[in-house]
Structure 1
């Protein structure tokens, strides 16, 4: 069972999100919070697998809350759930190490898919957010504050190949088929890549790949 903490200052929004998640028998909302301070306390008390955080909350905003959760409870994945899809919010969220970013107007299935992906140690951007990130990277708008400072020349040739395909949006299974590897080997490469680049998740690694120019012209 995937355990989720839900933080939003609007009770009606919390009720709606809780209802969506309740439709999945493998997901359980174990705690709710109306602000960032309550969210941090709830994470330490209930130890959820995933924290769903609104960006704009009173007392402590969602981005600050995400950073605090990652600092003090790194085992909990963080998904930003917001009405705001501007590049600035997305870039800041990814810089703070958010494992997922969804809009409140996204399809309910995206919400459940995101929770499952992040609980499994992956990262998730809803299709509309992913499109903005890719467009922003290509236009150079998403670079500020992202971990481009981490070099890629320390990677082996195979790790660089995996990073390029990861940056193009491929899953581990797709990368495995493309490079004729078993999926477990790809997963191990991804883990090593994240460690060597000093990034938290696949999203940040993909940003590194784009900013290093590795993905340009990939067929």
Structure 2
């Protein structure tokens, strides 16, 4: 009898581990697809390939919808335990790139996961900023930008310019960024430059003024 119980326990453990691995694999695949299509989109944008840009934009919408369905299936109550770092990152990416109602649905769940160390605090700061921006409110950590492609004067060269969305209590932004593990705003600007983008940050702008400015740039 004891041997039978032992066998049943071992089988249950194996099945549980297999199921967990399947969850991990599906999430990591979702994360890879999320990043790959966005990389293709950026490459097409930098090369000025309009047809490719439209194609990958459509692919991104489709992939995002499929990934959101995967996360919705796997996260019914809480973020699962014992997943890989890549799987947890994928959960964040899928929610971060989703529409606002989807983000709201999972924000508290991901916040609990961040408190448990499953998801980075910097990731939650990014998600919070994105949700605020979509609601036309000032962001908290300065992670969100609005991009525009401009023609360099006197040259037939396109340049991507990213404008920092207005920040709430801007004098404290560096302190808040440090608390959640984000780099400085200067570090963020340097990261943009490495990707071929110029970052513009006007600390004085309200959301309304920012919108008027960026609309004129279009």
Task: Please give the TM-score of this superposition, normalised by the length of structure 1.
Answer: 0.30
Task: Please give the TM-score of this superposition, normalised by the length of structure 2.
Answer: 0.30
Higher helix share: 2
* Larger-Rg structure: 2
